[in-house]
Amino acid sequence: MLFHVRMDVRIPHDLPSKETAEIIAREKAYSQELQRSGKWRHIWRIAGEYANYSVLDVNDNVELHEILSGLPLFKFMDIEVTPLLRHPNAIREDDT
């Protein structure tokens, strides 16, 4: 199942910079491993914001929740999820 996910990050300004850097490093490693596995198919930064649009390809809602709640920055995020279905007019067969 494909899901379009918007993630807005709001790290508290009073979080120590060392802790912030460690969380961001873990976030990068976690998200890149999910990209390599094919679960996190696309990620785009939203210009001018600490936010992204992503497309995840997972088995079900439970797997999506597990992945998102496993993000090191999860407790600092506002997340919006939209399930996606292949459009009947789509011409690319590899976008399922």
pLDDT of the residue at 96: 60
Q: Does domain 2-84 have CATH number 3.30.70.1060?
A: yes
Q: Where are the domains of the chain?
A: 2-84
pLDDT top residue among 4 and 95: 4
User: What is the model's pTM?
Assistant: 0.90
pLDDT tens, position by position, 30-56: 999 999 999 999 999 999 999 999 999
pLDDT at 87: 87
- Burial pattern 25-56, b for ≥16 Cβ within 10 A else e, equals eebeebbeebeeeebbeebeeeeeeebbebbb
Mean pLDDT of the chain: 95
Rounded CA separation 45/53 (Å): 7
